[in-house]
């Protein structure tokens, strides 16, 4: 089995190397631009080759041997159709799956298509018009360079492309068609999402009539998308199916329609998470105990802070709290009046623990049930009907022998007189809207690398960054966290870990997709 996996990995990397070697610098620049919403710009700036981009995509789990569609989409976008066969795709096969699996944002694709239609003469005129915004003595930039600079300066965003409209009006009014199509489709999405029912949403599409194709490029003729047949374009069981006979170069509009219907159907049964203030995230990081130190925990706290800040939460970190301090802190947050303007509340506790409880730095236990009960509807009415998430990184059982470089998050103090085991369900209130994510099942230890952090928290942060942009709900994400942790083994090869969530959520919890790329 191990040899087979090695063979698959080798073959996959050989495929990527072959593709990289067949891409010219202009192709690499295009790939970098199209990946800007997926990979942090600081990392992309260091890219020298397509292989570097592939490495970054693999590190973020966007690209792997069993799922190469994103790369196929990128090659399709830059019109390197001949390389698709190296991934087992054809142009038609990619087109077929773009609406459902496409990852390049409509905004990013609009900017790219715009740059592809800007001639050298137009570029000179644009540089002249933007003289006050461009660096002095800039050496003949490309159209993509101009787009990147405008984004860096905040002059264009997915919600504000006015400066592009002004430029196109002056330089080439024909280019306005690309921007107009993007804006019309964006408005359509908003109308669909605000529609009170399926029939109204479907009627909006029918009344749309004819819209110009999104891609009036030098390669494709200008075409129109006709939405006229209720039989061909109907929402069925929460999925919007498209007629494959329609011009597939209008993928952009279809992508937006599909995403709108997907959000319309599935988010109607979701918690409201799109308010101006997402919520507070409280992180308790207990590192220094009377008789031990939880090395690596600060790496967890830092990663949690980055990820939940990226998700729009206001993060507060508290370090080395004794048992009484933890209870007092929960009481303080219980009475915070600003909860009423927030969508949710999240609490992450990193400490030692035992069954149903966590330790303060004074080596005294605090019941998890006591902590969560501060946020019931009766105790904290400002959070009533809103999701309350608790992530607990701590052992829930006795110590085991520690392998090299791996500590257990169990207690080191004397455990005589320890309480009986507490089932996970007893740790959360019986009322609705709670989720408790435990690093391990009851009675067992959880593992922490003294440099890289805990298995559970690192997997949680990784999967949130990977799956929130895909629109996955929190329970689906935690399922993948379970898989990631469960397949990991200690350096000795003999110790494993299995996380366990418990919840009384009534709806799906889906974080809005951040506009910024994941923090790591």
214 near 113, Cβ under 8 Å? yes
User: 225: alpha, beta or left, given left = phi > 0 and alpha = psi -120 to 50?
Assistant: beta
CA–CA dist 198, 239 (Å, integer): 11
Cα gap 203→230, rounded to integer Å: 9
Contact predicate 347/387, CB 8 Å: no
Which pairing describes strands 434-438 and 388-393: parallel, antiparallel, or unpaired? parallel
- Main-chain dihedrals φ then ψ at residue 157, nearest 5 degrees: -140, 175
Report the distance separating Cα 394 and Cα 64, nearest Å.
31
Residues 6+ apart with CB under 8 A from 223: 213, 247, 249, 250
* SS3 state of residue 501: strand
Cα radius of gyration rounded to whole Å, the chain: 26
Residues 172, 122 contacting (CB under 8 angstroms): yes
Task: Write out the catalytic residue numbers.
Answer: 352, 395
d(C-alpha 76, C-alpha 95), whole Å: 9
Mode of pairing for the β-strands spanning 239-240 and 235-236: antiparallel
Closest C-alpha to 78, from 104, 46, 51: 104
**Burial of 366 from C-beta contacts in 10 A (0-12 / 13-18 / 19+):** buried
> How many whole angstroms separate alpha carbon 456 and alpha carbon 462?
10
Q: What is the dihedral of CA 155, 161, 163, 165, to 10 degrees?
A: 170
Is 335 within 8 Å of 381 (Cβ atoms)? Answer: no
Six-digit token pair at 490?
A: 């200690």
Task: Give SS3 for 204.
Answer: helix
Mapped onto helix, strand or coil, the DSSP state of residue 338 is: helix
Query: What is the distance between the alpha carbons of residues 393 and 301, in angstroms, rounded to a whole number?
Result: 11
In 99-222, DSSP assigns E strands to 210-212
The span from the CA of 439 to the CA of 302, in Å, is 18
- What sign for the dihedral angle of Cα 55, 59, 61, 67? positive
Looking at residue 238, what DSSP letter applies? T
Burial of 129 per CB tally in 10 Å (0-12, 13-18, 19+): middle
């Amino acid at each position: 089995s191990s040899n087979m996996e090695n063979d698959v990995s080798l073959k996959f990397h050989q495929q990527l190397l072959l593709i990289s070697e067949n891409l010219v610098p202009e192709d690499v620049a295009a790939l970098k631009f199209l990946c800007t919403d997926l990979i942090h710009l600081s990392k992309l700036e260091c890219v020298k080759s397509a292989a570097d981009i592939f490495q970054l995509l693999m590190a973020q789990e966007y690209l792997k041997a069993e799922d190469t569609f994103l790369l196929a989409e990128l090659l399709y976008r830059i019109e390197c159709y001949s390389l698709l066969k190296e991934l087992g795709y054809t142009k038609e096969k990619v087109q077929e799956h773009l609406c459902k699996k496409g990852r390049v944002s409509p905004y990013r694709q609009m900017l790219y298509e715009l740059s592809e239609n800007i001639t050298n003469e137009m570029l000179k005129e644009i540089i002249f018009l933007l003289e006050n915004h461009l660096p002095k003595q800039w050496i003949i930039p490309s159209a993509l360079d101009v787009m990147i600079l405008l984004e860096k300066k905040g002059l264009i965003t997915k919600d504000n492309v006015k400066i592009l409209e002004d430029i196109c009006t002056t330089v080439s009014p024909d280019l306005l068609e690309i921007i107009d199509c993007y804006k019309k489709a964006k408005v359509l999405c908003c109308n669909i999402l605000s529609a009170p029912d399926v029939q109204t949403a479907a009627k909006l599409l029918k009344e749309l009539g004819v819209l110009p194709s999104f891609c009036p490029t030098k390669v494709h003729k200008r075409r129109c998308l006709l939405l006229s047949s209720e039989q061909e374009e109907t929402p069925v069981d929460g999925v919007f199916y498209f007629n494959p006979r329609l011009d597939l170069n209008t993928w952009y509009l279809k992508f937006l329609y599909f995403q709108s219907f997907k959000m319309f159907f599935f988010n109607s049964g979701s918690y409201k998470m799109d308010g101006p203030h997402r919520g507070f995230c409280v992180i308790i990081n207990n590192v220094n105990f009377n008789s031990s130190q939880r090395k690596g925990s600060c790496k967890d706290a830092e990663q949690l802070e980055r990820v939940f800040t990226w998700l729009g939460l206001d993060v507060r970190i508290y370090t080395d709290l004794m048992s009484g301090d933890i209870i007092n802190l929960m009481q303080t947050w219980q009475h915070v009046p600003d909860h009423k303007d927030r969508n949710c509340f999240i609490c992450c506790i990193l400490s030692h623990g035992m069954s149903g409880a966590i330790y303060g730095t004074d080596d005294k236990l605090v019941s998890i049930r006591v902590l969560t009960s501060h946020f019931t509807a009766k105790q904290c009415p400002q959070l009533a009907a809103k999701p309350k998430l608790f992530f607990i990184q701590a052992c829930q059982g006795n110590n085991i022998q520690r392998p090299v470089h791996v500590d257990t998050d169990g207690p080191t103090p004397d455990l005589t007189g320890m309480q009986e085991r507490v089932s996970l369900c007893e740790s959360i209130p019986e009322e609705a809207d709670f989720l408790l994510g435990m690093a391990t099942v009851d009675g067992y230890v959880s593992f922490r690398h003294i440099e890289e952090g805990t298995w559970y928290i690192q997997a949680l942060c990784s999967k949130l960054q990977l799956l929130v942009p895909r629109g996955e709900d929190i329970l689906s994400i935690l399922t993948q966290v379970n898989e990631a942790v469960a397949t990991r083994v200690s350096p000795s090869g003999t110790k494993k870990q299995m996380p366990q969530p418990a919840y009384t959520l009534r709806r799906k919890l889906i974080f809005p997709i951040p506009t910024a790329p994941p923090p790591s």
